[in-house]
Amino acid sequence: MTDQPKFAQIKQHIIDKIRAGAWQENQRVPSENELSDQFQVSRMTARRALSELTESGVLTRSQGLGTFVASFKSQSSLLEIRNIADEVKERGGNYTCIVLSLESISAIAPIAIALGVEMDSLVYRSIIVHNENDAPLQVEERFVNPALAPEYLQQDFSQTTPHEYLTQVAPLTEARHTVEAIMPNEEICQWLDMFNEEPCLQVIRRTWSSHGIVSFARLISSGSKYRLGGHLTFKK
């Protein structure tokens, strides 16, 4: 308890004050100099406590003015989108997958646009079902820019996931996601082994490498079996 680093002790002190309500939203907290006096540390150490709490969204700072307790109103919480294979393994499930399709197709307009290639040019497409304990959990339809991953079709995706392979051959520099609720079509119902139509979570992910758009993936999971989770806390 007591042999925590000094900057961590100061962080904890600030968090305690906020939790206890002693320092309210938008109220000023002690300056770097005040803290370094109070805790008998150098300014750099006090500064580190304030900087890290600012980074994690607990405080806001502005030059010349001071440091303040952040207003919760403006806080946005974060949700994780994780690798589904890792998730399954982490909760002790048995992860398997089935490659339903691995081919090259002619890009219709929306695919061509999403991948940044010419319309009707050839692109690669894979469809893979991810299973947990042999029950389908998520279907992944992925379109790949052949210029950036020419050997995509030769891979064995029952051993290594497309995402893993692609990050090796074309280092990832950027990714964008959207999440929405959709009704699956009949095909997807079959793949996910759903008897009745039920709503699904659809994650659309586009990934970039330094040479352009690498791939465009639709990850569809049954709404009742899969959910995204997030957690926001003040303990850190």
Partner DNA sequence: AAGTGGTCTAGACCACCAG
Partner DNA sequence: TGGTGGTCTAGACCACTTA
The footprint of DNA (CB under 7 A) covers: 5-8, 31-34, 40-45, 47-48, 50-51, 61-67
47 interface partner picked from a copy of itself, DNA, none, CB below 5 to 8 A per type: DNA
Q: Is 196 helix (H, G, I), strand (E, B) or coil?
A: coil
Q: Which of 98, 112, 172, 189 binds a copy of itself (CB under 8 A)?
A: 172
Half-sphere exposure of 63 (CA within 13 A, CB side): 0
The crossing angle, in degrees rounded to 10, of helices 6-19 and 43-55 is 50
Q: Which of 34, 118, 120, 164 binds a copy of itself (CB under 8 A)?
A: 164
Q: Is 182 in the site for a copy of itself (CB under 8 A)?
A: yes
33 interface partner picked from a copy of itself, DNA, none, CB below 5 to 8 A per type: DNA
- C-alpha 222 chain-centroid distance: 19
Shortest separation between residue 120's beta carbon and a copy of itself, angstroms: 29
Q: How far apart are CA 120 and CA 30, in angstroms?
A: 62
Residue type, 141: E
Cα-Cα end-to-end distance for the chain: 15
CB-nearer residue toward a copy of itself: 63 or 76:
76
Q: Is 151 in the site for a copy of itself (CB under 8 A)?
A: no
Q: Is 103 helix (H, G, I), strand (E, B) or coil?
A: strand
63 interface partner picked from DNA, a copy of itself, none, CB below 5 to 8 A per type: DNA
